[in-house]
Amino acid sequence: MKKSKTGFFCQHCGYMSPKWLGKCPSCNGWNCFAEELIVESGSDSRAEMRFDGKPLPIEDIPITEGKRTITGIAEVDRVLGGGIVAGSAILIGGEPGIGKSTLMLQMMHNLAEKGLKVLYISGEESASQIKLRSERIEAISKNLFVLVEVSLEKMLEQIKIISPSIVVIDSIQTVYSAELVSAPGSVGQVREASSRLILFSKKYGIPVFLVGHVTKDGSIAGPKVLEHMVDTVLYFEGDSSHSYRIVRGMKNRFGPTNEIGVFEMRDKGLIEVLNPSTFFLAERPQNVAGSVVVPSLEGTRPILVEIQALVSSTSFGTPRRTAIGVDYNRVSLLVAVLDKICGLHLGGSDIFINVAGGVRVEEPAVDLGIVAAMTSSFLDKPIDARTIVLGEVGLAGEVRAVSQMDVRIKEAARLGFNRCLIPKTSTSEMVKIAKMEICKIGFLKEMLENLF
């Protein structure tokens, strides 16, 4: 009999070392190594998972992935790139209580109603708890099977017996394989369970959704390799103080990334928000200094968000800077540009930036919006309520072009905005939109002249 080997695994990123280390050379985490058994390859259960394939000329490979299953939840379908691809593995991460299980149940119910046999495997709740929740969100269907199980081997056995069209594992951290000695939730277990479930799904063409918890710092608990193994990674965002939830595609082998789906958490589960711009602008104050609307692009969809700024003279030695929803460093940079190039001295002011509704906008295209909001608050002059601004700001105070201008401006026009400030370098053919006054600007100073 072979001697079993152990190794030390980083519990954050899955880095393996033959001896214990205090600091992980891969992710620089401290005190995160735990000893785990190294799986012997070639054991029976693994042999069964092999593909046993032969090399084929690429021309002769039949396409099986073309067929997608539509979930019936339009927001999820779009994030997935038009439905679930057969045999794909989808990881869905998010903080506890954000609504992962709810979304999965609602989606499975939709699919079951279409006549597909679906299996929801939970290791976190009892069958009756799941039933209670399903009743609440009206997700009761005879084709929706529920299995409460944590053992990987038994799960795979049951999947083979029931042969469902889609499987959900809620959550991957609770799954454990008896072949490994390490505790459930440890890196070794999570990696082993995922890799076997993914192989299984590829081999039999059954799509599998893996629900993953996130750690305090926001990454999916368990090894980073999990994200490399699956085809699609979705993150559930939003905070508990707001009712909306966003599902964001972080990685997608079969579709666009950074696409988002917007939901609202109600007492009957998650409701799709088909018109997010209206949703995020609902409570916008009119004619108040420090507020401006920016069309930000999330994946392929433009979403109008309101950027708010409050600039007030500081009462302490060092001014406070707070940025919620936008990048803090970006704000500091823009403050410096305003100071140096436009002569607006914000150095002695506290600056608070907030994106209304709690959304996050990461793209530099909103730079001009941040600048406009800060200036408006600083000068105490409101910006016209029907004006949008759009553009990236360079260090010399120049306004740079942004991508997909036409989509963004069309969305603004649809919601009744009639004037927009855009970079000079934008080509003219993409900005022919009726009832929209286009104002092209090359430098920040021109923006200030045009806005106030």
Nearer to ligand TYD, 137 or 415 (CB): 137
Tell me the closest approach of the beta carbon of residue 372 to Mg ion, in angstroms: 41
**Interaction of residue 96 with ligand TYD, rule CB under 6 A:** yes
Among 11, 71, 88, 101, binds ligand TYD (CB under 6 A): 101
Q: Residue 265's binding partner, choosing from ligand TYD, Mg ion, none, with beta-carbon cut-off 5 to 8 A by kind?
A: ligand TYD
Which partner in ligand TYD, Mg ion, none is near 82 (CB below 5 to 8 A by kind)? none
Our finding on whether 191 is near ligand TYD (CB under 6 A) is no
Number of residues forming the site for ligand TYD (CB under 6 A): 15
In sign, the C-alpha dihedral spanning 193, 50, 67, 230 is: positive
**Applying CB under 6 A, which of residues 76, 90, 98, 448 lies at the interface with ligand TYD?**
98
Question: Does 94 participate in binding ligand TYD (rule CB under 6 A)?
Answer: yes
Site string for ligand TYD, 291-320 (x = CB under 6 A): ------------------------------
Question: Which one among 11, 88, 101, 165 touches Mg ion, defined by CB under 5 A?
Answer: 101
Please give the size of the binding site for Mg ion, defined by CB under 5 A.
1
Closer residue to ligand TYD in complex, CB, 136/445? 136
Q: For every residue of the chain, which 3-state class applies, written as one string?
A: CCCCCEEEEECCCCCEECCCCCECCCCCCECCEEEEECCCCCCHHHHCCCCCCCCCCHHHCCCCCCCEECCCCHHHHHHHCCCEECCCEEEEEECCCCCHHHHHHHHHHHHHHCCCCEEEEECCCCHHHHHHHHHHCCCCCCCEEEEECCEHHHHHHHHHHHCCCEEEEECHHHCECCCCCCCCCCHHHHHHHHHHHHHHHHHHCCCEEEEEEECCCCCECCCCHHHHHCCEEEEEECCCCCCEEEEEEEEECCCCCCCEEEEEEECCEEEECCCHHHHHHCCCCCCCCCEEEEEEEECCEEEEEEEEEEEEECCCCCCCEEEECCCHHHHHHHHHHHHHHHCCCCCCEEEEEEEHHHCCCCCHHHHHHHHHHHHHHHHCCCCCCCEEECCEECCCCEEECCCCHHHHHHHHHHCCCCEEEEECCCCHHHHCCCCCEEEEECEHHHHHHHHC
Binding positions for Mg ion, 259-318, rule CB under 5 A? none
Q: Locate 254 and state its tokens.
A: 């079969």
Q: Which stretch binds Mg ion (CB under 5 A): 33-41, 69-77, 93-101, 320-328?
A: 93-101
Map the footprint of ligand TYD across residues 255-274, applying CB under 6 A. 265, 267-269
Among 46, 117, 133, 251, binds ligand TYD (CB under 6 A): 133
Q: What's the min distance (Å) between Cβ of 274 and ligand TYD?
A: 19
What does 158 interact with, of ligand TYD, Mg ion, none (CB < 5 to 8 A by kind)? Answer: none
Question: 245 touches which of Mg ion, ligand TYD, none (CB within 5 to 8 A by kind)?
Answer: none
Asked if 44 touches ligand TYD (CB under 6 A), the answer is no
Give the residue with the Cβ less far from ligand TYD, 10 or 265. Answer: 265
Is 201 near Mg ion (CB under 5 A)?
Answer: no
Of the listed pieces 68-76, 95-103, 219-227, 297-305, which binds Mg ion according to CB under 5 A?
A: 95-103
Select from 5, 50, 67, 136 the one that contacts ligand TYD (CB under 6 A): 136
Largest CA distance in the chain: 81
C-alpha–C-alpha distance, residues 347 and 226, integer Å = 45
Instruction: By CB under 6 A, name the one of 99, 188, 212, 222 that touches ligand TYD.
Output: 99
Judged by beta carbon distances under 5 to 8 A according to partner kind, the member of Mg ion, ligand TYD, none in contact with residue 136 is: ligand TYD
Q: Which residues bind ligand TYD (CB under 6 A)?
A: 94, 96-102, 133, 136-137, 265, 267-269
Q: Which residues bind Mg ion (CB under 5 A)?
A: 101
